[in-house]
Amino acid sequence: MKSIPLEDAVALIPDGATLMIGGFMGVGTPEELVDEIVRQQRRGLTVIANDTARPGIGIGKLVSGRMLRRLIVSHIGLNAETQQQMIEGSLEVVLVPQGTLAERIRAGGCGLGGVLTPTGLGTVVQEGKRVIEVDGRPFLLEPPLRADFALIQAFLADYLGNLTYALTGRNFNPLMAMAADTVVVCAENVVPIGVIAPDHVVTPAPLVDYVISRC
């Protein structure tokens, strides 16, 4: 793990990159990283996330700045700007059932070939996907998801990069930290090694590339 200034962390992200961004309606989203992406005007991004929050909050800032080319999310119902861009055709939105989204990210992090799920059978979710029968029951084969970068919010990071999360701020963050080539963490608190007890570590240090300590 390397400590890095916020500006330098975002400078690593090229236009057109695929990002996983933690959070659930902005809770557990690394707001400072999102703000810096807006400031540095990254464009053509693909974002994998639970949702797009609301205008002015979390990923909603990237939507408002028209910085996104593609979204893979479980819902957009509370962000009218996302809906408008999808309708006008300037933003591709792929809607994935929430549990399926989580398991596809987990599969990407664990090196699995995909997820078998009955969710979405007989709906538009099934279009273009393989159906596999197991013990007489049909399942959709959903492919794993990975990203170039995972942008993570943690409550505590120690000097090695071990992470723990606060309450519901945990949400998708630990899964995403497993499923990206480069993991960048905004840590609310950076503490000496040993402050986080071994059995309280949620994301271990070997998964973390960079920690920003002033988030």
Q: Which structural domain, as residue segments, surrounds residue 47?
A: 2-113+144-212
Indicate whether 126 belongs to any domain.
no
C-alpha separations of 156 from 124, 148, 153, 162, 169 in Å: 41, 24, 9, 8, 12
| Residue 7: CATH number of its domain | 3.40.1080.10
pLDDT of amino acid 215: 65
pLDDT of amino acid 1: 67
Indicate whether 194 belongs to any domain.
yes
Q: How far apart are CA 192 and CA 196, in angstroms?
A: 8
Q: Which of helix, strand or coil describes residue 148?
A: strand
Report pLDDT digits (tens) over 100-136: 999 999 999 999 999 999 999 999 889 999 999 999 9
| Cβ atoms of residues 135 and 158 within 8 Å | no
Total domains, the chain: 1
C-alpha separations of 211 from 9, 19, 147, 162, 163 in Å: 9, 16, 18, 10, 10
Under the banding of pLDDT at 50, 70 and 90, the label for residue 214 is low
Q: Which two tokens stand for residue 85?
A: 């861009």
Round the average pLDDT of the chain to a whole number and report it. Answer: 95
Report pLDDT digits (tens) over 156-194: 999 999 999 999 999 999 999 999 999 999 999 999 999
